Each structure stands twice: as C-alpha cells, then as structure tokens.
Structure 1
Amino acid sequence: MDSIKHWLYDYLVSSGLSENSAKYLNMLALLLALIIIVFVIDFITRKLLVKAFAQFASVSKTNFDDLLVNNKVPRNIAHIIPLLIALVFIREVFIDFPAFENIVERGLQVFAIVLTLWIVRSLLNTLKDYLKTLPRLKDKPIDSYIQVFMIFAWLGGFMSAIAIVTGIPFLTFATGLGAISAVIILVFKDTIMGFVASIQVSINDMVRIGDWITFEKYGADGDVIEITLATVKVQNFDKTITTIPTYALISDSFKNWRGMTSSEGRRIKRALYIKQEGVKYLTEPEVDKLKEIQLITSYLETRQKDIKLYNRSNSIDKILLLNGRNLTNIGVFRKYIDSYLKHHSAINKDMMIMARQLAPTTQGIPLEIYAFSSDKRWENYEYIMSDIFDHLMAALPYFDLEIFELPSSSSFKASLNDKF
C-alpha cells in the first residue's frame, strides 16, 4: 500500500524533482484518483440501489416503497458508501499534509451530518405522504409535526457542525448555547407560536383539511387545503388563496362550517320585511276567499269554527272586528309560509321548520323563515332559498300585504306629478 501511495513520489524524485514538489504532486494525484473512485462508486451504487427499490416497489402491494422512491430515499442512502470510502482513504491522501487532512476530514464529517439530515427529511416526507393516504389521518395537520421534527433535527445538525468545525465538544457547545437562547426564541417566535397553536388545533379538533371556514379578519371564506406549522392555507370560493397564521386560529374568532356539512341539512334563515300599514283583521268574506288557497284551507276552516264558537259563547259584539278573536292577514300568511315549507320537497322535514315574526323595525315587520334545506351544496342551496322567497314574495298580494322598500327617485317624481 505504501509503495502505491508513494509510487508517483518516488518516480518524480528519481526524475530529479525536488522532494517538496514531489509530495504536492503525489498528494494531488492521489486526491484526483480518490475523487474519481468516489464519484464512480457513487454513480454505480445510486443506479443499483434506485433500480432495486424501483423493481421492488413495482411488485409490492403497498405504496410506501413507491413513496420512498418518489422522495429520493434510495438516492440519498446511496451516498453513504462513497462517503465512508472517502473518510477511510482521505488520511492516506494527505499523509504528508496533516493540516490539510484535518480540514478535509472535518468537511467530510459536516457533509455526513448534512447527508444524515437529507435522509431523515426524505424518510419523514415519505411517512407524511403515506399517512395522508390513510382515511383517518387525511385531514390531520401532519405537515406541522414533520416540520417541528425537522426544525429540531436541523438545529441539532447545525450545532453538531459548528462543534466539529470549531473543535469544541458537542455538550460544551450545547451548554454555551443557553446564553443566546433568548435570541433564538426571538428569531423563532412565529415558529414556536405556530407549533403550540398547531398542537392545540389538532388536540381540540378545531380545523381539519377540507373544512370550510370563514375568517373575516383575514378575508378567508373557503376550504382549508393545507395546515403547516406557521400557516393555514384557505382556498376561497373565487379560487384565490388566503394564508392565515396558525396561531390566529386560537387567538381570533372564526367560523367552521363542519357542523353544517356533517349535519342533515343547511340552515335557511332570512326574513321578509312587511309593510306595517298593510296589516289588518280579516272579514268573513276575505277568509272565505283565502280558503281557496289549498295549503291553508283546512287550517282556516278549523280556526274559523273555533273563533266563531268562542265569540258566540262569550257574547262578543262583532260590529267592530276589533272585538273578540279574529284572524289577521299577516297571521294567516305566516301559517301559509309554515305549510308551504312543510310541503316543499327540498326542505328537511326532520329538522326545525318555523316561520316567526320578529320585533317591528323602521323597515317594517320581519317575517323570518327558519328551516333547513336537504341539499347542502352551495349552488343548490342558493337555488332552493331563492325559489322559496320568489314564491313567497309573489304570494304576498293574495293576503293584501306588501314588501317594504325605500322609495326611489321615480316614486318622488310620481308623487310630484300627482300634486301638480
């Protein structure tokens, strides 16, 4: 071995070259030969290992090995053998130059740390991709946990590399690092907050990938497509992407629509504002006329009998409609809404159905519809809700009622024309 190492040296010295120059040329020749050997072995090892993994993945039933190949795990592992060869023979190359040997050896040790981190990252990415294929973990923030682990891994690798370069023992260096911990906390403040937030979000099951959330502060209204350590990405319904800090999910208020999507219906909660001046008692002829509306015929007949019986038994003077019990047009219309909703094919009959009157406002009397559509898809939901209110607004004149709306310029012009 010694004869091989010094073959060029002996040859150059015998040719009349100085010993010092012969040592440098011998070192350069050995270094070039080692580099060529390392690259050749790396190429062959990488090709063989990647091919072997690919063939094994093609015949296996699980997709985990396919993900290993996709994340370049075999490719990174293949670098280990050439690195070990370089570490073993580097001393022989620089045998006459101990200072160079120390520098290059430390450089290779640092590269070994980086290579280890590459392999760990590839394995973790493979694990992440595999876990995302499992139905019960598909909506979990796996990216956050992978990122946390990699942060600690890179931090440990960085500290180890500095310890190798400076020659300081790792434990001594780690102990001294406590003095600058405050600076590190300041630099990684968002990361630390995001880490804590991601744990709380996961434990409390606040947000999952695929959830529809509304976050007014950040202008987000759409589906969660990614949860990482620092951010949550929301694809809005106009296909734009809103990025929200993860810690904002626990520090601010937002709305998660998961309860609606997992329920049996989507809520309809909207009001018609009725003109107050149109509200009145109904006379018997008007009640008889409204009996022609099939949805409330039975109701009106029953109510009319009950009211007549009550007024007769209590000797109520019906010269004035105000006396005794009476039906009102807004009350009958409210009952009509209730019956209409209960007969509507798109309304879930197993969930609450209610037509209620809210407190009067300066814009009229609100008649609120509270029900749930069976179809929760946004487009169909909007169609169902519009269909219901189209019908009810068209039905209002049959009850001598009107929708309140502020007067337009044409209303003022018509009023002026009437006066002059």
Structure 2
Amino acid sequence: MEKINEVSSKYYHFIYNHLIEIGFSETLSTYLNMFALLAALLIVVFAVDYVIRRILVTTFSRFALASKSNFDDLLVANKVPRNIAHIIPFLIALEFVPIVLIDFSHLENFVEKSLQVFAIVLALWIIRSFLHALKDFFKTLPSLKDKPIDSYIQVFMIFAWGAGFMSAIAIITNTPFIKFVTGLGAISAVIILVFKDTIMGFVASIQVSINDMVHIGDWITFEKYGADGDVIEINLATVKVQNFDKTITTIPTYALISDSFKNWRGMTKSEGRRIKRALNITQSSVKYLTDNDVDELKKIQLITAYLETREKDIQTFNSGNNINKELLLNGRNLTNLGVFRKYIDSYLKSHSAINKDMMIMARQLAPTTQGIPLEIYAFSSDKRWENYEYIMADVFDHLIAAVPYFGLEIFELPTKVTFNSN
C-alpha cells in the first residue's frame, strides 16, 4: 500500500517535482501544481458533463419520439435527462478533489463541504424537474386535469427545499442532521410566523381537495373579491379566476374555506339551469271570472281543456249544494289569477327549451307592497349562459304580453305623480 501511495504521489507531484528541478521555489511549485491539477480536473469534468449530457438528451429524445406516451416527452421538456447528466461529473469531482488539494488540507475541507452542499442542490433540481414533468403529465389525464396538482407539487417542494436547507446548514456547521432538526424546535414559533400564509395555504389546499370544493374549470362567484368566472389555476397560495370580462382575479386559497362563495358546478353537471323569477301582479286586478269571461278564455288553446273540465266540476258542485250564484263570491269560482297560473304551467310544459324531466312550477308568493309575486320556477335545457338568458327572456316576453288577456296588470311604480295644489 505504501508503494502504491508513493507511486500515486509521484504522479500527483509530477509538475511540482519538475518545477523544483528547474529552480522554482517550493511554495510557488506547490501552488502551480495545485492549479494545474485543478485545471485538468475542470477540463475532465466539463468534458464528461458535455458528453454524457448529449448522450442522455439525445437518447431520451429519440426514445420519446418512438414512444406513444407523452410522459417521456415531458421529461425531456422539463430537462430531467439534462439534470441527471450532472451526477457522474459531480462524482468525478468529489473523488478527485482530495488529490487536487493534497497539499492544502485546510482548503480541502471547505471544497468538500461546498461539493456536498451542491449535491443537495443538484438532487433538488432533479426532483423539481421530475415533479414538473409529472405535473404536466397529470394535467393531460381527464380524471386529474381539474385537480389542484400545482398545490401538491408546491407543498412537496417546500418540504424538500426545507430539508435541503437544513441538511446544508448541518453540513456547514458539522452538526448531525437529527441534532440540528431537534434544535429547530426552539425557533418553531418564528418559523410558523414567517411561513404563516404558506401554512394556511397548505392546509386550505388539502381541505379544498379532500372536500372537493373547487376544481380547475369550475365557474365560481366570490363577491368579496369581485370574482365571477372560471377557475384557471389552483396553487398553494392563490386561486386564479378568469372573469367573464377576461380579467384575472387572484383569491387567497385559504379564503375558500374561511369565506362563502358560490360554485356553479352543480348547475353545469345537472340536466338544466334554473329559471327563478317572478311577475308582480297588481292586487286590484285580481277578480272572479264570470261565465262570459270563462268562455272568452276558452279561446286560449293551452287552457281550453282545463277550463272546460273545471267549469263542469264547479257547476256540479254549486248545483249540488244549492249555491246562490247571483253573487260570484258564493260557492266555488275561477279567478283570473288562478287561470293565469295554470296557463303559465301549461306554457312552460309545452316550451321546447324547458327541461320536462325537472321541476316546473308557477307559484304564488306572499303579497307585498309591490303586488302579488307570481314566481316561475323551471329549468332550461341549455345551460350555456348566452342561450340561457335568451330562453329566459323569451319565456318572460311571452308571459308579460299574455297578462292583459287574463284581465290582470303587472305592478309598476307610478311614472307620474300628481300633487294637490291645495
């Protein structure tokens, strides 16, 4: 072994011995010997790095072109082979640094620690590039494209960078990693304070994902932040919403669990979009229908059969109970408001754009100072916003125009006010 070391030392000090022979001082010869070895090592490292990088990148690229999967394409796009190629040159540098600095033991320790720290950084680069490729791949899968993959990647990388940072400090301070981590307990309160938003975002991301509250592509309305549009990105700290005017609203992730917002996903996945709007009928226009009124309304085809059936039932009841019909109030009667409600129901059920498999209802709400609300409750078959608005407008255009045919009036605030001069 001693002979081997002597032979190795002879080669390592070849330049040193040559310089001494030609008259250089020992100190200068030592430094020049070190610089020459360092230059040789750097040339070898960069050459090996270049060759291996070209081989790996070319091989991966060709394999990606031949493969049907796009995951390997994403590995190349995110520079995973390029980062992996640095491993072998790094190992060469780590192996030969003690030889280059054989005469500088105090510098050798510093360089070795620097290389160990660089090893941590290199590992994090590789992990990050691989995770980014994995993230891009997951986003191409239909079952995962609406999941907050960015949040999961960011959480993992935060822990990875934290562990890497602590490992680097432990290496620099010559402190065992476990002992170093244990000592961090004393400053945990400071860490929590500094990373408060990150921690809150992390917890919120988990809750949002577990409770299935928001997906990428969901239409949400968040009045507090002025957001009304589609979710385009969910990450650890923020949720980005593209509003319908194409502006972007950024919402803190933790706001999704601390505040109230509306997610329209249930509507978009349902068989229809709800129409819920009322016509306010003037109370003074509501009245009982005479026989002549009923005969006139029979001309409306949608309720002809209904009026004939109801008329027979009412006449049978009133005759059987000897009801005095000289006064309309006595016995059973039809009202124009009740017939109009039946007309609305029949009209909605015959409308081609209304979903017949979902609830259809015309209901009367409690009277107010602005009349009697007659609410239409139904669902349009087409859920697209523009078409939905067209369908709803079409329905109410017709009903507003139909109101006078039933002797009813829609409540409106007076447009003119007459003042008494006295």
Give the TM-score normalised by the residue count of structure 1: 0.94
Partner of 1:238: 245
1:33 matched to 2:19? The reply is: no
Given candidates 391, 396, 411, the residue that maps to 1:404 is: 411
Partner of 2:4: none
Partner of 2:294: 287
Given residue 275 of structure 2, which amino acid in structure 1 is its aligned partner? I
Q: What CA distance in whole angstroms lies between the structure 2 residues aligned with 1:73 and 1:42?
A: 14
Shift in Å at residue 17 of structure 1? 2.3
- Please, which moves more after superposition, 41-50 or 254-263? 254-263
Alignment of 1:71-90 (within 5 A): 71-90=78-97
Shift in Å at residue 238 of structure 1? 1.7
Partner of 2:53: 46
- Please, which moves more after superposition, 133-142 or 83-92? 133-142
1:171-192: CA deviations, max 9, x gaps? Answer: 2211111111111111122222
Alignment of 1:358-373 (within 5 A): 358-373=365-380
- Please, which moves more after superposition, 13-22 or 52-61? 13-22
- Please, which moves more after superposition, 43-52 or 237-246? 237-246
Given candidates 227, 235, 239, the residue that maps to 2:234 is: 227
Shift in Å at residue 124 of structure 1? 1.4
Given residue 234 of structure 1, which amino acid in structure 2 is its aligned partner? V
Partner of 1:158: 165
Q: What CA distance in whole angstroms lies between the structure 2 residues aligned with 1:70 and 1:2?
A: 45
Alignment of 1:10-159 (within 5 A): 10-159=17-166
SS of match in other structure, 1:124: helix
Given residue 30 of structure 1, which amino acid in structure 2 is its aligned partner? L
Query: Would you say how many aligned residue pairs link Structure 1 and Structure 2?
Result: 415
Q: What CA distance in whole angstroms lies between the structure 2 residues aligned with 1:93 and 1:44?
A: 23
1:191-230: CA deviations, max 9, x gaps? Answer: 2222222222222222222222222222222222222222
Partner of 1:195: 202
Q: What CA distance in whole angstroms lies between the structure 1 residues aligned with 2:412 and 2:41?
A: 89
Q: What CA distance in whole angstroms lies between the structure 2 residues aligned with 1:300 and 1:246?
A: 58
Partner of 1:5: 12
Partner of 1:389: 396
- Please, which moves more after superposition, 389-398 or 16-25? 16-25
Q: What CA distance in whole angstroms lies between the structure 1 residues aligned with 2:20 and 2:278?
A: 103
1:390-418: CA deviations, max 9, x gaps? Answer: 1111111111222212223xx23xx57x9
Give the TM-score normalised by the residue count of structure 2: 0.94
Q: What CA distance in whole angstroms lies between the structure 2 residues aligned with 1:165 and 1:405?
A: 80
What's the RMSD between the two structures over aligned residues? 1.8
SS of match in other structure, 1:350: coil
Partner of 2:348: 341
1:273 matched to 2:280? The reply is: yes
Q: What CA distance in whole angstroms lies between the structure 2 residues aligned with 1:260 and 1:77?
A: 47
1:155-183: CA deviations, max 9, x gaps? Answer: 11001101111112212211111111111
Q: What CA distance in whole angstroms lies between the structure 2 residues aligned with 1:27 and 1:276?
A: 103
SS of match in other structure, 1:361: coil
Partner of 1:356: 363
- Please, which moves more after superposition, 312-321 or 335-344? 312-321
Shift in Å at residue 32 of structure 1? 2.1
Shift in Å at residue 4 of structure 1? 4.0
Partner of 2:330: 323
Shift in Å at residue 252 of structure 1? 1.9
Q: What CA distance in whole angstroms lies between the structure 1 residues aligned with 2:409 and 2:97?
A: 94
Unaligned runs of 5+ in 2: 1-7
Partner of 2:262: 255
1:216-253: CA deviations, max 9, x gaps? Answer: 22222222222222222222222222222222222222
Given candidates 179, 185, 201, the residue that maps to 1:178 is: 185
SS of match in other structure, 2:143: helix
Q: What CA distance in whole angstroms lies between the structure 1 residues aligned with 2:176 and 2:372?
A: 80
SS of match in other structure, 1:137: coil
1:374 matched to 2:381? The reply is: yes
Q: What CA distance in whole angstroms lies between the structure 2 residues aligned with 1:39 and 1:402?
A: 89
1:314-333: CA deviations, max 9, x gaps? Answer: 22222222222221111111
Shift in Å at residue 360 of structure 1? 0.8
SS of match in other structure, 1:234: strand
Given residue 265 of structure 2, which amino acid in structure 1 is its aligned partner? R
Unaligned runs of 5+ in 1: none
Q: What CA distance in whole angstroms lies between the structure 1 residues aligned with 2:57 and 2:412?
A: 73
Q: What CA distance in whole angstroms lies between the structure 2 residues aligned with 1:163 and 1:310?
A: 96
- Please, which moves more after superposition, 161-170 or 225-234? 225-234
Given residue 54 of structure 2, which amino acid in structure 1 is its aligned partner? K
Shift in Å at residue 349 of structure 1? 0.7
- Please, which moves more after superposition, 317-326 or 60-69? 317-326
Q: What CA distance in whole angstroms lies between the structure 2 residues aligned with 1:240 and 1:363?
A: 38
Shift in Å at residue 338 of structure 1? 0.5
